[in-house]
Structure 1
Amino acid sequence: MFSVKMIKGCRAGLSAAVTILILAGCGGPQEAAQERAVPVKAVKIIQQDVQIANEYAGQIQAKTEVKIQARVSGHIMEKMVAGGDMVKAGQPLFRIDSLQYESSLLSAQAQLAQAEANWENSRLDTERYENLLQQAAIPEQRLTTQKAAERQNEAVVASYRALVKKAQDDVDSTLVISPIDGRIDVDDVGVGTFVQAGSTTLVTVGSQDPVFVQFNMSENEYLNLRQVSPDNIADGGWGEGVTITLSNGAAYPLSGKVTQVDRGLANNSGTLTLKATLANPEGILIPGMFARVKIAGAPIRNAILVPQRAVQQILDKSLVMVVNAGNQAEPRPVTLGEKVGGFWLVKEGLTADDTVVVEGLTKVREGAALDVTVVTPAELELSINS
């Protein structure tokens, strides 16, 4: 049997326990929820005007490239350059055996001298016959015949002068010079090689500064660019501000300008070929190099931009984790456009009022409470122009 004192003691102990539980229940769930909140960093969506850069695959070309061929036939007797050398316009490159051409020149000069002597004699005869005709010592027909002979001798002189000039040109052509400033390739002929006039390529020389970058764009891209800036390229229109990225990912520091546009679309691909001119003072750009070409395209007004690191690719879907009004994680499918620096252009799925998670995504699940630290793109080293 329990005494009254024992019953009262039990009631007092139970009351104290219930009080403790009630007190614990008042603050416990809230504190537990706060402990479960996932710490993340988030960024407010950016909305501003942007200009998309169109990208194309391009290849570097020499602005001027000349295949140097011999103007006379013969054996290479001397080579003044080595493959890969930089050369100047007028610099000697090769010397062809000139012996036969020098002999031809001497022969032509001798024939010219004889012809000039004959012409001089006929000219003196003409003067003498004119005096005799004035004295009625010879018939007029004799003077007419003499004048014809003088003109014939004059024509012979002109013919031999042409032969001398041709022979002199042949002698001069045995020294092969560079027609332009540039670099020669390594595939050149060696000493002793017999070269055929007009058919044997001795070496190829290409200019180094400036250079072309050639690329192709579609018909629609060309029309869109013309709509943005319809001015002719020559008048400083849409072809300004061309930049390239080299195959190793390095951005070339100098920009260029579109200077040549093909007259029509290629029949096999339906694309338009363009060439942009780039300064190359350091000789970094070498013909044959591949590069990514960028040209500023049409501006987009009030574009919605989200950091690339905020986007998750799941199968063929693109998702971002939005911080909703209750500071909870809300996955949101988005439709992406082009890349703009460190951002994606968002076509559908977000508004300028949204905030998206950029760091801590691996720990976040749908509906999870978030401990949000809002940061700026600058703090994350994100740039629209990077």
Structure 2
Amino acid sequence: MKRSLNWIYFALAVLILIAVLVYIQSAMKANEAAVSKPRPTSKASALDVSVVAVRAAEHSASIQAVGVANANQNLLLTTQISGEVIELSPSFEVGEQIKKGQVLLRLKNISTQADLARAKNTLANAELTLKEEQRQADQANAEWRAAGLSGDPASDLVLRAPQLAAAKTDLSAAQAALALAQDNVKQLTIRAPFDAIVVSKDVALGAYLNSNTQVATLYSTDQVVVELQLSLLDWQKLPSADRMLKNHWPAQVNSVNGSDTWQGYVKQAGLHVDSNSGLRSLFVAVDTPLQQSPELIPGSFVKVQLAGASLKNLWQLPNSALSQKSEIWYVDQDNRLANFDATPKFVDQEFVYIEVPERLRETPHQVLIQPYNSYLKGMLVNPQERGKP
């Protein structure tokens, strides 16, 4: 009886195990069928992107730089000879404007006046000696011909040729000495060499000045020149130096605070690059700065703006349109994303200027304002133009 019960239990266990295996196998098949069953396709959704509509056009770069408006000429005026200051012009004061040739001060030097008198006397004697020597030479030649002698005399002293030559040389020396003495006397009166501003006055009435003593610092008023230090990249944006110089390329000169503006032009282009900074100079001039309204005072700090060369087939885009990978993303005719690698031709504070590939030049395009690294080519998008709903 006991053995029969054991067999019954064993048979029940086997049946339960078989039932469990069958259940598991059927569940797995049902799951596989559910997984392999094709899912219904869903309609692709378009991504909203902000774009700006652009067309290839011609644009000019703009160069901005700062500098100092220096006087065209800056002179330390000095004495040429020594003397006592006996007169100062009322206009010879710091801050005054003076004209070319205007007397600033006068010196007294008795020795210089005496040198002039001696030079005049020496010249008069030299002229007299030459006349006497010329007369004697003419007489010697006449006597030689009257004697009926043929040929030349054994010595040129007979016809007084050396004596006449010496007299002529003495006259030339006397004339040069007189010119020097006259110039020294002229230098006793010190005049303005050009229209200028008196920046410093370094003499006083009654002072005795040696030669080469500084008496004033003068700044010319005909022109101020601003030296701009430009990088080679900035130079690439500009026309050639020859073209700028030939056409007096215009430049807008602004005060540092931007309230005042003057019109200038390119005067000169530096012909070397600084080996330390890698910069090359460009010189911008403003004529008659003190006659402008308002005046452009020498020594002022200014900002200069120059128009660069014009380039065709460019897109003017917001600075943000250039991706971190230097790519421009745009929307194609199927409203899908496309891109191309780009190197800006030039940039300013607001825009980046990109050369348009030839295939995109004929028609306007929508360019993404803010492309992200997650964007992929061919993505379906819904372009939203800036400023439009």
- TM-based fold match above 0.5: yes
Please list the CA deviations of residues 8-53 of structure 1 after superposition, one character each: whole Å capped at 9, or x if unmatched.
xxxxxxxxxxxxxxxxxxxxxxxxxxxxxxxxxxxx9686866453
- After superposition, the CA RMSD in angstroms is 3.4
- Does the 8 Å contact 1:72/1:196 carry over to 2? yes
Distance 1:147 1:302, change over 3 A: closer
The answer to whether structure 1 residue 217 and structure 2 residue 225 are counterparts is no
Structure 1: which 5+ residue stretches go unaligned? Answer: 1-43, 312-336, 357-373, 375-386
Alignment partner, residue 40 of structure 1: none
Alignment partner, residue 119 of structure 1: 130
Alignment partner, residue 249 of structure 1: 258
Measured in 1, the distance between the counterparts of 2:300 and 2:242 equals: 30
Alignment partner, residue 364 of structure 2: none
Measured in 2, the distance between the counterparts of 1:230 and 1:107 equals: 57
1:127 to partner: Cα distance:
2.5
Measured in 1, the distance between the counterparts of 2:165 and 2:297 equals: 60
Q: Once the two structures are aligned, what percentage of the paired residues are identical?
A: 21
TM-score (norm 1): 0.62
- Which of the two has higher C-alpha Rg? 2
Distance 1:277 1:46, change over 3 A: farther
Alignment partner, residue 355 of structure 1: 387
- Does the 8 Å contact 1:261/1:273 carry over to 2? yes
The DSSP-based 3-state class of the residue aligned with 1:144 is coil
The answer to whether structure 1 residue 161 and structure 2 residue 175 are counterparts is yes
Alignment partner, residue 295 of structure 1: 306
1:272 to partner: Cα distance:
0.8
Alignment partner, residue 267 of structure 1: 275
Structure 2: which 5+ residue stretches go unaligned? Answer: 1-50, 321-346, 354-366, 372-382
1:344 to partner: Cα distance:
9.9
- Does the 8 Å contact 1:83/1:188 carry over to 2? no
User: In the TM superposition, what are the counterparts of 1:1-386 in structure 2 within 5 Å?
Assistant: 51-80=60-89, 81-136=92-147, 140=153, 141=155, 144=158, 146-197=160-211, 199-226=212-239, 232-236=243-247, 240-252=249-261, 254-279=262-287, 280=289, 281-282=291-292, 284-297=295-308, 301-304=314-317, 338-340=348-350, 348-349=369-370, 353-355=385-387
Counterpart amino acid of residue 240 in structure 1: W
Counterpart amino acid of residue 181 in structure 2: A
156-165 vs 293-302, which moves further: 293-302
Alignment partner, residue 41 of structure 1: none
Please list the CA deviations of residues 356-381 of structure 1 after superposition, one character each: whole Å capped at 9, or x if unmatched.
9xxxxxxxxxxxxxxxxx9xxxxxxx
Count, aligned residues: 277
Distance 1:255 1:190, change over 3 A: same
1:270 to partner: Cα distance:
0.7
1:154 to partner: Cα distance:
2.3
1:123 to partner: Cα distance:
2.1
Measured in 2, the distance between the counterparts of 1:164 and 1:355 equals: 85
Please list the CA deviations of residues 305-325 of structure 1 after superposition, one character each: whole Å capped at 9, or x if unmatched.
59xxxx9xxxxxxxxxxxxxx
116-125 vs 255-264, which moves further: 116-125
1:156 to partner: Cα distance:
1.5
TM-score (norm 2): 0.62
- Does the 8 Å contact 2:78/2:214 carry over to 1? yes
The DSSP-based 3-state class of the residue aligned with 2:283 is strand
Measured in 1, the distance between the counterparts of 2:198 and 2:139 equals: 63
- Does the 8 Å contact 1:304/1:352 carry over to 2? no
Counterpart amino acid of residue 62 in structure 1: A
Alignment partner, residue 4 of structure 2: none
Distance 1:230 1:191, change over 3 A: closer
